[in-house]
Structure 1
């Protein structure tokens, strides 16, 4: 059974390509890619601030997704795939136009 929409937002793993490749066969509409916003705050709110390993991984992930080259590489690989949609968090970093009209997002 195919899902109407899958999300890879926020990016919670370094291996986004693997996640996309594994979910795309089950997707009939779109996969949205976006950065993890407020990741440390959310981890702390949910009691993970004392888990050193989790917090270290979160810091590494934030550094990875804050590197525009990583996001550019991901975008270049999937920019022509109509199933992949990009959240504002990615578009802002890569200076991609953000439509103001609903339904025109890509």
Structure 2
């Protein structure tokens, strides 16, 4: 399990836990007077999509347009892919070819 995200709000953190699949755990820690909630789980693109991370929903729309040979924002697509390359290295994931 890896640290996927942190939350300031308990309800938001518990909702996130309910969204992802696989092994998961929510741990809280106190930072001064504030409580922080750390979400640990399996680092998969599916879980990141469910957590609405890394602009994956936007990428999905761009890839759909691209695959249909319709106009799409190529510069935004490149920006998202650059961010995903960093995420892929950090979480030891491969970016699916059809996203590129």
State TM-score, norm by structure 2. 0.30
Asked which structure has the greater RCO (Cα within 8 Å, sep 6+), the reply is 1
Name whichever structure is richer in strand by fraction: 2
Structure possessing the higher radius of gyration over alpha carbons: 2
State TM-score, norm by structure 1. 0.29
